[in-house]
Amino acid sequence: MSRRIVLVLLALAAAEPISAKTAEAIMMQTSVESPTEKRIVYPESPRVGQVDEYHGVKVADPYRWLEDLDSQQTRDWVAAQNRLTSAYLAAIPEREPIRKRLTELWNYERYTVPIQHGGRYFFTRNDGLQNQNVLYRVDTPGGEPKLVLDPNTLSQDGTIAMTGWSVSEDGKLLAYGLSSGGSDWQEWRVRDVETGRDLPDVLKWVKFSLAAWTHDNKGFFYSRYDEPHEGRPLEEANFYQKLYYHRIGTPQSADELVYQRPDRKEMGFIAAVTEDGRYLVIQAWKGTETENGVFYKDLRQPGSRVVELLDRFDAAYSFINNEGPIFWVQTDLGAPRGRVMAIDLRDPAREKWRELIPQGTETLQGVTCLNDTFVALYLKDAHSQVRQFDLAGKPLREVELPGLGSAEGFTGHRKDRETFFSFSSFTAPGTIYRYDLETGKATVFRHPEIKGFDPGRYETKQVFFPSKDGTRIPMFLTYKKGLKLDGSNPTYLYGYGGFNVSLVPAFSTPHLVWMERGGVYAVANLRGGGEYGEDWHQAGMKLKKQNVFDDFIAASEWLVANGYTSRRKLAIAGYSNGGLLTAACMVQRPDLYGAVIVGVGVLDMLRFNKFTIGWGWTSDYGSPENPEELKALYAYSPYHNLKPGTAYPPTLITTADHDDRVVPAHSFKFAAAIQHANAGPHPTLIRIETRAGHGGGKPTSKKIDEAADELSFLFNELRGEGAGEPKAAGK
Among 415, 449, 483, identify where a domain stops: 449
Kindly state whether residue 112 falls inside one of the protein's structural domains: no
Give residue-wise pLDDT tens across range 256-273: 999 999 999 999 999 999
Predicted confidence at residue 37, as pLDDT, reads: 44
Q: Terminus-to-terminus CA distance in the chain, angstroms?
A: 53
Q: Exactly one of 246, 383, 511, 694 is catalytic; name it.
A: 694
Q: Based on the domain organization, do 536 and 648 belong to the same domain?
A: yes
Distance CA 324, CA 313 (A): 25
Specify the pTM: 0.89
- On whether both 437 and 474 belong to a single domain, the answer is no
517 and 465 inside one domain: yes
Which pLDDT band, with edges at 50, 70 and 90, does 692 fall under? low
What average pLDDT does this structure show over 466-478?
A: 98
Q: Using CA atoms, how far apart are residues 245 and 643, in angstroms rounded to an integer?
A: 53
Residue 6: per-residue pLDDT: 33
- Please state at what angle helix 95-106 crosses helix 700-718, rounded to 10 degrees: 140
Q: Is the pLDDT of residue 358 over 90?
A: yes
Q: Do 478 and 441 fall into the same domain?
A: no
Whether residue 685 is contained in a domain is answered as: yes
Confidence grade of residue 228 (pLDDT, cut at 50, 70, 90) = confident
pLDDT band at residue 652 under the 50/70/90 scheme: very high
For residues 122 and 54, is the Cβ–Cβ distance under 8 A? Answer: no
Residue 299 belongs to some domain of the structure: no
- On whether both 416 and 477 belong to a single domain, the answer is no
**pLDDT for 312 beyond 80:** yes
3-state secondary structure 116-170: EECCEEEEEEECCCCCCCEEEEECCCCCCCEEEECHHHCCCCCCEEEEEEEECCC
- pLDDT tens per residue across span 5-19: 333 332 222 233 333
Burial annotation 161-180 (CB, 10 A radius, 16+ → b, else e): bbbbbbbbbebebbbbbbbb
Q: How far apart are CA 43 and CA 34, in angstroms?
A: 18
Mean pLDDT of 670-692: 92
In a domain, 660, yes or no: yes
Lowest mean pLDDT across 11-15, 447-451, 476-480: 11-15
Q: Are 337 and 360 in contact (CB under 8 A)?
A: yes
Q: Considering the chain, what is the average pLDDT of its residues? A: 91
Domain membership of residue 596 (yes or no) is: yes
Of 483, 476, 650, 505, nearest to 564 by C-alpha is 483
Pairing status of strand 491-494 against strand 219-224: unpaired
- The neighbour count for residue 385, using CB atoms within 10 Å, is 18
Measured from the Cβ of residue 591, the count of other Cβ atoms closer than 10 Å reads 9
- Same domain flag for 529 and 380: no
Q: pLDDT digits over 315-328, tens only?
A: 999 999 999 999 99
C-alpha 719/C-alpha 731 separation (Å) is 7
**In this predicted structure, what is the pLDDT of residue 9?**
32
Please say whether the beta carbons of 193 and 174 come within 8 A. Answer: yes
Among 449, 478, 498, give the residue marking a domain's end.
449
Q: Is the pLDDT of residue 423 over 90?
A: yes
pLDDT of residue 660: 73
User: Are 581 and 508 within one domain?
Assistant: yes
Q: Are residues 586 and 439 in the same domain?
A: no
Residue 280: inside a domain: no
Domain of residue 382: give its range. Answer: 361-449
Give me the pLDDT at residue 234, please: 66
The residue among 402, 431, 449 that closes a domain is 449
Are 248 and 190 contacting, i.e. CB atoms less than 8 angstroms apart?
A: yes
Q: Is residue 143 part of a domain?
A: no
Helix (H, G, I), strand (E, B) or coil at 373: strand
Number of domains in the chain: 2
694 is catalytic: yes
Residue 616 has pLDDT above 90, yes or no: no
Same domain, 413 and 505: no
In this prediction, residue 235 has a pLDDT band, given cuts at 50, 70 and 90, of: low
Same domain, 457 and 534: yes
Domain co-membership, 458 together with 510: yes
* Total H helices, total E strands in the chain: 12, 41
Burial of 505 (0-12, 13-18, 19+ CB in 10 A): buried
Same domain, 508 and 554: yes
> CB burial class (10 A; 0-12, 13-18, 19+) of residue 247?
middle
Does 718 score more than 60 pLDDT?
yes
Confidence check: pLDDT of 636 > 90? yes
Q: Is residue 158 part of a domain?
A: no
For the segment 583-601, the average pLDDT, to the nearest whole number, is: 98
Catalytic residue check, 166: no
- pLDDT at residue 5 in the model: 33
Question: Using CA atoms, how far apart are residues 386 and 376, in angstroms rounded to an integer?
Answer: 6
Catalytic residue (one of 502, 576, 619, 712): 576
Residue 26 has pLDDT above 80, yes or no: no
